[in-house]
Amino acid sequence: MTGPRAPSAADLAADAAETIRQLNHHTLHQQALTGPAELDLAVAELAVMSRRLPQLLRQLDRWLHTEQHAGRIRTDDATDPAAVVAHAAADLAHAGRLAHELGHTLDDAHQHLARLGAARPDRPRDSGTASRPAPPSADDWAKRWPPAGRIMATSGQVS
């Protein structure tokens, strides 16, 4: 008796599409994210995914061309498949360029998001009209160091 079969390329692509569908549903509500750090991590992971797509698309294109040159591809109307393969290859190459650009754009967003943190709930939002308090003195810093409580960083929480 043999074990379960390894997932096919189509199975893995379906899993990726399903994961994005789940993310779409998960992020419908404001409570889906715990704060800027989680958003930053999610965008960083989507950037990684996007940067991996061009390689996948090149490999799919290579498979398509190899099969076509070996005569193992046909069209549904019995015409020469070379033109259809050429159009599909051009579309795959274009998608790869777009994915590359998407990865860079998501990286840019990640760099901006990495600067954000959750506002402390005990402090009112700064409307920009109130004067700012004076910076703490050395004595004030000595009384407050080390900080108590939790510090939120974009890479996660440190207690």
Predicted pLDDT of residue 120: 83
At 113-146, the pLDDT tens digits run: 999 999 888 776 655 555 555 566 556 555 555 5
Pure H helices in the chain: 9-26, 36-69, 82-113, 138-144
Predicted pLDDT of residue 130: 52
Place of tokens 């996007």: 50
pTM over 0.85: no
Place of tokens 């070379």: 82
Please determine, for residue 152, whether its predicted confidence score (pLDDT) is greater than 50: no
Structural tokens at position 122: 């005990």
At 33-81, the pLDDT tens digits run: 999 999 999 999 999 999 999 999 999 999 999 999 999 999 999 899 9
